[in-house]
Amino acid sequence: MKRSLCMVGFGVLLAACGAEVGPGDVGVLDVKSTSSGLTGTFAHGGDTLAFQARQLSADRYDIVVELHGLTLSAVIDEARQVAAIDGFASNSGADTQIVEEDRALLRGLVAALPGRIDETKGTSAMLARVASHWSQTPDTVPLARSVAGSQDQGWTSLCSYYNKYVSASHDCSSYGWWAPNSTSYAHVGERGSSTYYLVNGVWTTTTQNHKAYLYERGNCYGNCGAGCPSGNQTLTQDCHNHDQCVRNGHALASLYCDDEFTSASDDEFFAPRCSGT
């Protein structure tokens, strides 16, 4: 469902929709501390979102983001490693979906948070994790769903494999899991703004389409989240596999990567960050 109406949320006007947030353009972040957490806005040009992050109890958090006529909410129990997330049209409560204009503004928020909040613990860390998760949510993944470590088989940490090559794979309509053309040897956690592919002995940034057993590196491969964080990465096998899917023949919003995305959701919410990465 495409949304064109913007809205008033948390007492601030949410203005014109859909401005793209480009690399290096982090927009304007206004964030304030409250007795229970954080509240604020992020603006890029005439495009604005509002957010609120509250700590409900020792390990429970409530995150709400409003943008483009859409309300996103998440209630997270960190101790039990479960979360209930939802998204709906703000004016009617009807089911809707995240589309690219939403992801663009959410990516801007994620890029603006480092240095303004403590992303390592508590309410601030959960805001950063959840906002990053929504900034990657494909059009075709339902917004109302549960995320649970036990339900999704938990995660396999790749912290000990930082700076090493680890196999990554996906399945799609053409290839199954661990088939040669859907499997790569990907360098865990190497930073940089681009993904590099080793083709005929030469590293190239030209995106490859299901080439068998390529070596790949860059852009924080295996990190759970949007792009490279300013601090330590969260490196897991599920996030490694999701990166392999969207960097080898499929886009972020591709239906074929939905199962990899949902498998990586609990990793992004709950897996530990890797020290020194």
Q: Can you tell me the mean pLDDT for 77-89?
A: 93
Residue 139 reports pLDDT greater than 80: yes
Q: What pLDDT does residue 120 have?
A: 78
What pLDDT shows up at residue 229?
87
Please state, as a whole number, how many other Cβ atoms lie within 10 Å of the Cβ of residue 246: 21
Q: What is the mean pLDDT of residues 172-182?
A: 96
Residue range 231-244: average pLDDT?
Answer: 95
Domain boundaries, given as residue ranges, for the chain: 8-148, 159-270
pLDDT band at residue 116, thresholds of 50, 70 and 90?
Answer: confident
Q: How buried is 120 (Cβ within 10 angstroms: 0-12 exposed, 13-18 middle, 19+ buried)?
A: exposed
Give pTM, 2 decimals.
0.85
Is the predicted pLDDT of residue 22 greater than 60, yes or no?
no
Which structure tokens are listed for 9? Answer: 């949320």
Q: Look at residue 153 in the predicted model and tell me its pLDDT.
A: 53
Helix/strand/coil (H/E/C) assignment for every residue in 91-141: CCCCECCCCHHHHHHHHHHHHHCECCECCCCHHHHHHHHHHHHHHCCCCCC
Q: How large is the average pLDDT for residues 59-69?
A: 96
Whether the per-residue pLDDT at 17 is higher than 70: the answer is no
pLDDT band at 199 (very low <50, low <70, confident <90, very high): very high
pLDDT(178) > 80: yes
| DSSP string covering 210-256 | S-TTEEEE-S-TTBSSSS--SS---BBHHHHHHHHHHTBT--TT-GG
- Tell me what the pLDDT averaged over the chain comes to: 87
How many CA atoms lie within 13 Å of 132's alpha carbon, on the beta-carbon side?
Answer: 29
